[in-house]
Amino acid sequence: MKKGISLIALIITIIVIIILAVITIFGVNGVIEKVREAKILQEISNEKEIVSASVVQAKKEINSFNEETLGKALDNITGVDETDVFADSDNLAVQFKNSERYYLVNKDGVIEGPVYPIEDEYAGDITKNKQYDGSEDKPYQINCIEDLVAFSIMTNGGNSSLGLSSSNFSGKYVELCRTLDFKSMFSYKDYTSKKYGDLNKDTVEDDIRTELTKTDEGCIGFTPIAFHGIFDGNNYAIKNLYEHVSQYGGMFSIWVGAELSIKNLEVSGEIISEGSAGGIAMAATLMENCISRVNINAKNSATGINTRGTIIHCQNYGNIEVENGSYVFGIAGGGEIEDCQNYGTITGNSIVGGIGGSQVTNCQNYGEIKGTRYVGGIRGDGGTLTNCQNYGKVEGNSAIGGISGGSSTTINCINYANVYGKGGDGLMYGDACIGGIVGSGGREINCINYGDVEQLKLEKVGWSAGGIIGYANSGQQTINCCNFGNIKGNTAGGIAGDFDWTQNDVTKVMNCYSVGGLEAINRKGGIVGAKTGYGTHYVENSYWPEEWNAEVCCNTPASLKVTDSRAYPLSFIQSQEFVDILNSYVNTYNLEHKDEEDFIELSSWILDTKTGYPILENLSE
């Protein structure tokens, strides 16, 4: 019995010893791992401190730094040949040779890292060895530039020698897994690879990075992705895109009518197009939360984000220039645009604007807008523009407006920038006009202009400048608007420059006032500069300063019907009594028209605490 007990005790003892040994071994390994991790973190911290000190030293010596000076500073601190410095895209890359870690330093000396070349066993395969099927739950993966190139090749006919079949991936989901930079070695699995051949079509096979970034004559750069599915950028960026195309440029390009949705993506770079271009896409059906920093030079037309479609929460920072073409916009040419901003300079021939679109809501332009004919801060011509603001200078030869060049319905909009008309010979009838809100035609309701409106060549007879609209013809209505800008033209009016022909007796200015300066070398009027066309026009309940020494219009024929409109001293215009006059009209109008199908409610007026003048309550800051 004792022997049996002793044997059992021995077995238990052995088991306990084994368990303790296992615990000890794994515990020690865990400690070792933590020590190793701490050592790596300390090395990284030390390396960053070395790079930071070297940047300071390089800047101190020459008030700047470059590859050579940063390298010398690093050698002074670490010793010769301990580090390597080289240009990588827009940054300088620092390699610590012993640790094989890299750090990026931008032009401002900001340090990023450590960074490493991409390790992707399946670079160039967006299925990642069939792990992803393009479904919503398992979207195809874009993890490196090789993936982008393969994606482009497959959507443009495929390449059998590379094993890439042709597909437009209709209805499939694709996502970007990280920020990629065409110029950076850290965005490639192997930037020295020549696997993909002559991508830029210059007849010379260079490494893949050179193929995609070379800008010599004859190089086409990256080929747009002809994708018909859903792309999610996951708030990452694709940087330093370069394209030189014969027809359609953009990161993505599809046929009209195909479905393409793009969201959460930023793209920067340059597109040169002998035809048309979109900064991110051509003809996408939906774009949301996208940013373009793409500079575009095209010959026919160009837009910063997309040519058409529904566009929500997007911004353009790229400069766009179209030599002789039309439809040049910071966001899109057509479609519904909401909550978008343009910051780039937009230059074109005719129909040029900071935003664009057909139905535009809650959008702002901050960029300078330059064109020839039909030029506006938000849109060049047409469309319905609601709750939009322009902060960028607008300049053109004819039909120029702070919000729209012409024929737009403009509701609750504000122009803060100066608007200039350069004029020119041989202008079309009705084009020789400039307005704080709209150049020619359209309908303006609840709008304010703060910018100066100036015809630069005053000797050009026939030009008209208005605080709200430059040229009003059949169907024109300007209701419940005010102007604070200085107006200067051959013919100038506080609200409208010229009342031209009308066939339906609805061309009207109602419940408006203007207090900006007024200067004309030919004809001027407190509300309308001149009435030059046939038909009956109306001015109702509209006002201007007595200090202008002007009548309601320079000429008042019987066909100009003026009701309850007059000049007041500026002191009265700044009174609550004047506010009450404006609001009385508002209340009556809203009550009488509220049941109409196209009714737009007029905003009430309040005294602005900054200027002392009445301002529309819904547009007050």
Q: Flag the least confident range among 166-180, 240-254, 502-516.
A: 502-516
Name the more confident of 195 and 9: 195
Give the pLDDT mean for 123-130: 96
pLDDT tens figures, 60-113: 876 677 898 999 999 999 988 899 999 999 999 999 999 999 999 998 889 999
Q: Angle of helix 67-78 relative to helix 2-62, nearest 10 degrees?
A: 130
Q: What are phi and psi of 584, to 5 degrees?
A: -60, -40
Above 80 in pLDDT, residue 7? Answer: no
Above 70 in pLDDT, residue 156? Answer: yes
pLDDT at 8: 66
pLDDT at 2: 46
Name the more confident of 282 and 268: 268
Stated length of the chain? 621
3-state secondary structure of 610: coil
pLDDT at 415: 98
pLDDT tens figures, 337-367: 999 999 999 999 999 999 999 999 999 999 9
Above 70 in pLDDT, residue 23? Answer: no
Above 80 in pLDDT, residue 621? Answer: no
CA–CA gap between residue 346 and residue 332 (Å, rounded): 12
**Token pair belonging to 22:** 């296992």
Above 50 in pLDDT, residue 540? Answer: yes
Task: Assess contact for 303 and 249: CB atoms under 8 A.
Answer: no
Give the pLDDT mean for 468-480: 88
- DSSP state, residue 426: S
How far lies 437's CA from each of 331, 400, 434, 507, in Å?
20, 9, 9, 17
**Token pair belonging to 597:** 């199908």
Quick one: pLDDT band at residue 20, thresholds 50, 70, 90? Answer: low
Q: Flag the least confident range among 70-74, 439-443, 504-508, 574-578.
A: 504-508
Task: Assess contact for 322 and 307: CB atoms under 8 A.
Answer: no
3-state secondary structure of 323: coil
Give the pLDDT mean for 426-447: 83
Residue where the block lists tokens 């020494």: 549
Give the pLDDT mean for 275-287: 93
Quick one: pLDDT band at residue 503, thresholds 50, 70, 90? Answer: low
Above 60 in pLDDT, residue 444? Answer: yes
Above 70 in pLDDT, residue 425? Answer: no
Quick count: other Cβ atoms within 10 Å of Cβ 426?
A: 6
Could you tell me which of 512, 471, 469, 465 has the C-alpha nearest to residue 486?
A: 465
pLDDT at 1: 46
- Proportion of the chain above pLDDT 70, given as a percent: 91
String of DSSP letters for 502-557: -SSS-EEEES-EE-S-EEEEEEEESSEEEE-SSS-EEEES-EEEGGG---SBS---
Name the more confident of 170 and 431: 170
String of DSSP letters for 211-273: HHH--STT--BSPPB---SEEEEEEEEEEEEEEEESSEESSEE--TTS--EEEEEEEEEEEEE
pLDDT tens figures, 240-261: 999 999 989 999 987 656 789 9
Q: What are phi and psi of 69, to 5 degrees?
A: -70, -35
pLDDT at 21: 62
pLDDT at 12: 64
- Proportion of the chain above pLDDT 90, given as a percent: 75
pLDDT at 131: 97
SS (H, E, C) 80-127: CCCEEEEEECCEEEEEECCCCEEEEECCCCCEEEEECCCCCCCCCCCC
How confident is the prediction for the chain on average, in pLDDT?
A: 91
